[in-house]
């Protein structure tokens, strides 16, 4: 690693103190994304996509490029990847409107809900139990909890494979660092990614599956 454990957590401290109360606002945006998926309004998938994309923009610009790049030059590359993911979410969710979130009483929704609950509730709890105390801890808005949350929410949709590519890629990249630095709450990245890949393979998520829109949508 090009940086020490102390430097790694120093970045979180600097980020959290400089951006407070951003984590609270970002958590609200996450709940807005969740709520909009249940709202029977033709534009609700657009709202969910914008909310989700804003989380990736924040993580890419503010955390990766704004703070993490001070100790890791590769953070610039990570930040750009996060911005690309935000662009993909906006394209499929806002422009083409092929990204539809439809929670139902099925396996997709149940597993997605479990991953979402982990990202928003169990993640900070496990971090606290592991001794990661504010401000030297990853709060919501940092890349890993945002990625876990995104993987969970995408289980409520039928995304094309290239939408999950960057989240899955980050899960692979971040897990090694999480183990090295003892951020045990991040170890859920790989199981979350595996669930998304497994469900997508079982249900045959293909391009043709994402071409529908709400009836009556203009």
**Backbone dihedral angles phi then psi of residue 214, each to the nearest 5 degrees:** -65, 140
What pLDDT band is residue 208 in, cutting at 50, 70 and 90?
very low
The answer to whether residue 200 scores a pLDDT higher than 70 is: yes
% of the chain surpassing 90 pLDDT: 77
Query: Where do we find the tokens 């998926």?
Result: 37
CA distance 104 to 40: 13
- Quote the pTM value: 0.92
- Would you state the pLDDT for residue 213? 40
Least confident of 108-112, 174-178, 205-209: 205-209
User: Hey, is 142 helix, strand or coil?
Assistant: strand
CA distance 136 to 118: 20
CA distances from 85 to 1, 52, 53, 78 (A): 25, 10, 8, 11
What count of other Cβ atoms lies within 10 Å of the Cβ of residue 130?
Answer: 13
pLDDT digit string, tens, across residues 151-186: 999 999 978 888 999 999 999 999 988 889 999 999
pLDDT digit string, tens, across residues 37-68: 998 888 899 999 999 999 999 999 999 999 99
Average pLDDT over residues 56-84: 98
> At a CB cut-off of 8 Å and minimum separation 6, what does 179 contact?
187
Q: Give burial (CB, 10 Å; 0-12/13-18/19+) of 176.
A: exposed
CA distance 91 to 106: 27
% of the chain surpassing 70 pLDDT: 92
What count of other Cβ atoms lies within 10 Å of the Cβ of residue 191?
Answer: 14
pLDDT digit string, tens, across residues 122-159: 999 999 999 999 999 999 999 999 999 999 999 999 78
Q: Identify any residues that bridge with 157 across adjacent strands, giving them in sequence order.
A: 101
Buried b (16+ CB within 10 A) or exposed e, 13-25: eebbeebeebbee
């Amino acid at each position: 690693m090009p940086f020490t454990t102390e430097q790694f957590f120093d970045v979180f401290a600097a980020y959290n103190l400089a951006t407070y109360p951003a984590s609270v606002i970002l958590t609200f945006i996450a709940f807005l994304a969740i709520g909009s998926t249940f709202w029977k309004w033709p534009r609700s998938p657009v709202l969910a996509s914008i909310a989700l994309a804003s989380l990736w923009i924040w993580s890419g610009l503010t955390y990766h490029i704004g703070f993490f790049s001070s100790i890791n030059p590769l953070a610039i590359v990570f930040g750009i990847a996060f911005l690309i993911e935000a662009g993909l979410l906006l394209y499929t969710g806002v422009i083409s409107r092929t990204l539809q979130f439809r929670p139902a009483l099925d396996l997709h929704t149940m597993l997605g809900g479990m991953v979402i609950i982990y990202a928003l509730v169990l993640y900070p709890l496990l971090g606290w139990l592991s001794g990661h105390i504010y401000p030297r801890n990853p709060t919501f808005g940092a890349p890993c909890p945002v990625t876990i949350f995104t993987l969970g929410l995408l289980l409520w949709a039928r995304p094309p494979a290239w939408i999950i590519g960057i989240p899955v890629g980050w899960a692979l990249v971040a897990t090694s660092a999480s183990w090295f630095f003892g951020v045990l709450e991040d170890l859920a990245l790989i199981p979350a990614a595996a669930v998304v890949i497994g469900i997508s393979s079982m249900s045959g998520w293909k391009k043709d599956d994402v071409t529908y829109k709400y009836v009556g949508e203009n």
